[in-house]
Chain A
Amino acid sequence: MAGLTSAPFATDDSAMQGDAAVHLETRGLGKSFGATRALDDVSVAIRQGTVHAFVGENGAGKSTLGKIIAGVFPQDQGDLVMRGTTVSFGSPREALVRGIALVAQEVALVPRLTVAENVFLGAEPRRAGFIDRGSLRERFDRLVADAGFDLRAGAVVGHLPLAKQQQVEILRALAREADLIVLDEPSTSLSAKEVESLHDVVRGLRTRGRTVILVSHFLNEVLELSDEVTVLRDGRVVRSNPISGETENSLVTGMLGRPISRAYPEKQPPATDAPIVLAIEGLSAPGVQDATLTLRAGEIVGLAGLIGAGRSELAHAIYGAAPARTGGIQVAGNALPGRPAASIEAGVALIPESRKDDGLILRRPIRENVSLTSLKRFQRMGFVRRGAERSEVRDALARVTGSALLEAPAGSLSGGNQQKLLFARALLIRPEVLLADEPTRGIDVGAKRDIYEVLVRLAADGMAILLISNEVEEILGLAHRVLVMRAGRLVAELSGPDMTEEAIVNAAFGTTSTSAA
């Protein structure tokens, strides 16, 4: 059994032999993205020849940690120590030279090339400037046999299922003699059967003495595969432990319970007889299966789930921005046609997840950004009535921010103020239903608080709000009722005393101690 110590770096010098040897260690790693502290003082020791899992909620920093180890980003503070030597990587390529490879969530292969060509891409055996096909094939066969994969050298990668493509990526790492492989959420897009074969691959790597870092939000997978686990929360290490000392419940508990709590405005529950303004029945769309839900006037309903669970897709499907959908959507009793313009007309507003990609026209003035969806109201014979536009935009802005700036480009504002523009735009259409997708993503604490106040005030004025957030605490702090999505389906509805962080996380992860609705 591995040592009980969770403190980094072995204090005994006998750590040279057997499974106790530390392959890679992080010392006090820190990393910020803008105002967000992604990692803070992270010290972890990863032992040679083990499978070491990183677990945590969305945004806990597990993926960032894996990427720093693999040279995708540089750390801001701290050191990476490899077998006792401090190393630093400027790029994934430099990490690879030291034997560290990342297999990312998205496979990065050339789809038109064959398996063997992808495996040796950029490192082809050559003879006189030409690719030495014989030697390439020979090396490939040896590699495949060694890894124990079932892959055909000549198969075109684009035609392979995702699980096989992952194996190609792993093979590519092995071809470059990587002995530490970071798998970032490897089973997210795989079928149950493919997950099984992936697990065999991981076990095979361990048997052959490679070290594997497994970044995963599937706790059963972590418990089944790994030797040690590091739990992260808010960018900090909660603990590192041998897996034998953990259970699903202990991991969930470790991931929860933030020390710092933000203050939320007081909840104002909707009247018990508040009318249903949005009724959805059996809605299916790309990424969404058979969703049924209702929203009452004045109600904030939180939509929780893991990244990729289909929450944004659900919002887009309701709004009519998804390419195709089936099922019934009614707003105030009227069927909603599947076009954004019709949704706006019917009083449904969307605040999209990415304000830069889907929300704002950054080079245009604030005024035009806010009025965009309501221009029909300000027009006479096709001409914009600029006086009316100006005064209404000013009023809408006043409801969400103190700023009276109208003509500066939207891109000149801070993230928080850009987000407020989207709220002002939504207010201008006087919606009955507001679909707010990650409305506080990447903005500072003060601006978050402002947005919370706006959401609570709008609900108090009778708006029905569907709030999508990756932060469970935010959902608990604001929502009157919580829906949880997993793999495209609504799997739980929680209200009253059932609305706990544990219940939400259990439903989102699909772990046992919850009663799935």
Chain B
Amino acid sequence: MKKLSIFIALSAIVFSGCKQDDEFSGPDLNNLYGGFSIVQDLDISNRNVDFSSGESTYFTATFSKNVEWNIEIKGLTSGAIRNIEGFSDNLNNVNALWNGTTSILPMFKGEDCAVEVTFLNQTDTLRDTLTVVAGRVNQGFLLSDFENGFPANWLTFIQSGANMSFNIQTSDLSAQGTHYYDMGGDVNWDWLKGYVYIPASAYGVQAFPLNSNPANVYFNTFYYKVPTLNNALILFQFCEDDNEDGTFNANNEDMYSIQVTPTAAGWSQLSVNYADLAALVNGAPSTPAGNGVKEPHKLMQVNILHLANPTSGYAQSYIDYLIFTENGPLIP
């Protein structure tokens, strides 16, 4: 009993030292509930920014209290939008830095932009403008952005249906640059409207120069859904030269695929990890025909097939900016 009493007494002594912290966590509530005003107006560090040469720009402003803010930068030619959000009492070179990326496609290009800063639960809005001299350049192996016409040595097959339109279009609303590839047509006897084969040989190599680890390789592209059409499918196929003999044999070598059903009108981004590709037969998973190992460094051809139910009428999709990236998906 004596030992227990000593133990209890010691424990009580330890607790007698407990006291409250003399600081608090999180932002000051008095500040949050205080009045809001703009202390220092919006300013832009670089009003003529060239993202293609690695430049960036940032915004500055100071407010009377911490507040949730949103900077919206809108390309006046492309319609591209970049949103930067934060919670602070100022904008600075850390929390309001813009390196040319986009939140809502298309990508920014050389164009004037409108900048607007809005605040949660506040009516104030700050506005300014800046000029993008040139859009950012992404790292990776670019298959094509269609800016220089249809790439040499790509192969196409186009069904002899009605209103077939497998060609390059020019528009400021392209996902990237000013050109995209338009695939459309009405083929009432076949799901296939047309395809594009992209062999590695078009780039002077036997296999695309990709990392051998499929988890590190991403295939990226932008695709466009025409708002009034709901029937298109785009199938991307990746043909591996398992035995490295310079040819692809579908009977005993791997072909992995991903099928995209455009659902949201306008441009969307597809970024798929090579490791997540699957062998598909008529859209359903199947066993690969080759060694069953995903080997991006043996990829020798990419196929793009435009499909639609033959009874569904005219189908159309656009694609733009086909690029392989490493260690992460494309950040447009």
Co-complex (A, B): no
